Amino acid sequence: MAQNELPMNLRDDNVSEETKTLISSLPREQDSQGKLCKFQGCWYYYNTLQAVINFQTNFKPQDTDIILASFPKSGTTWLKALSVAILERYKQPTDDHPIHPLLSDNPHGIVPFFEIDMYLKTSTPDLTKFSTSSPRLFSTHMPLHTVKEGLKDSPCKVVYLCRNVKDALISRWYFRCKYQKSEVARSNLESMFESFCSGVSFYGLFWDHALSYWRGSLENPKHVLFLKYEELKTEPCVQVKKLAEFLGCPFTKEEEESGLVIKILELCSIRNLSGLDVNKTGKTWMNVDYNSYFRKGEVGDWKNLLTPEMENKIDMIIEKLKGSDFKF
């Protein structure tokens, strides 16, 4: 695909001379979408690496900032919606904001990504344009050690949403198919699977990514909360209450008794969000249709696409990781 047909984060046309020198010293690979390099253990397209460096160098954290983190296609949209709904519940409509933000914008429009939105075009974005909420909410797909460099020693809170690796892989596959000529893309599921398992793909190895946050959550549970997509599905009230507590705004008894937790879950359900006009017709600034962030939202959809051999290969990798303290 030609460079200018790709979203800006996958391209290599916005890299400073300094970053070019850095890249020349890093491990490099090429995939069907562009040139990748390995920085701090994670693979990025060059423009995204520039954004990561811009973030690490220039971001000025505030102690109250909240960072929502995930591996791509792990339910980031859902986590953003739930966090916005939890924090917005205190606010009354105003003339400037007469309706709930989730009814007038997509969660990705409300909670920007550091390296995909804010720092991709410029090293010094005007943050007041990006995050109007208080506390400020940001998001990222970078692994924790890379995020930490940008957060310096700020005590701001980080929430990580982890999803079953097979579902995250298949979700990524469908997302990519939408933006490629699907027949060509489908014939390449196998090659995408191989690069996903080897880790030479955008944002690197799934396992390393999840482990960086898992360990961070054990080391400093007040700083990092580790949530699982599947648990949000099976025990939504428990998990949303946990999230609210971690964000420093637990539900009161009265709020719980009034059914507020259920209302928030309903507002943020995939059925409700995907049916909103803004999500049916809107696009991100990089021209990604908002509706592509909502597909099935189910657990176990991988069973419809992964072959038994692929399933075995992932299971064997997971088996090898059993020595670590995290269960996938």
Which residue has 């940001």 as its token pair? 138
78 near ligand A3P (CB under 6 A): yes
Q: How is residue 307 written in tokens?
A: 């072959």
Burial tier of 180 (Cβ tally within 10 Å: 0-12, 13-18, 19+): middle
* Residue numbers 117-176 binding ligand A3P by CB under 6 A: 167, 171, 174
Q: Is residue 141 among the annotated active site residues? A: yes
* Crossing angle of helices 165-179 and 206-219, rounded to 10°: 130
Cβ pair 69, 144 in contact under 8 A: yes
Between 39 and 293, name the residue whose CB sits nearer to ligand A3P: 293
74 near ligand A3P (CB under 6 A): yes
Cβ pair 213, 160 in contact under 8 A: yes
Among 47, 54, 77, 217, binds ligand A3P (CB under 6 A): 77
216 near ligand A3P (CB under 6 A): no
Q: How is residue 291 written in tokens?
A: 């509706």
Of the candidate spans 84-92, 147-155, 196-204, 291-299, the one that interacts with ligand A3P by CB under 6 A turns out to be 291-299
Of the candidate spans 151-159, 247-255, 257-265, 268-276, the one that interacts with ligand A3P by CB under 6 A turns out to be 268-276
* Conformational region of residue 222, where left means phi above 0, alpha means psi within -120 to 50, and beta covers everything else: alpha
Q: How far is the CB of 84 from ligand A3P (least distance, A)?
A: 12
Residue nearest to ligand A3P (CB): 297
Q: How is residue 159 written in tokens?
A: 């929430």
230 near ligand A3P (CB under 6 A): no
* Residue numbers 169-208 binding ligand A3P by CB under 6 A: 171, 174
Instruction: Return d(Cα 297, Cα 182) in angstroms, integer.
Output: 21
Q: Which residues bind ligand A3P (CB under 6 A)?
A: 70, 72-78, 81, 167, 171, 174, 268-270, 273, 293-297, 301
Q: So which residues are the catalytic ones?
A: 141
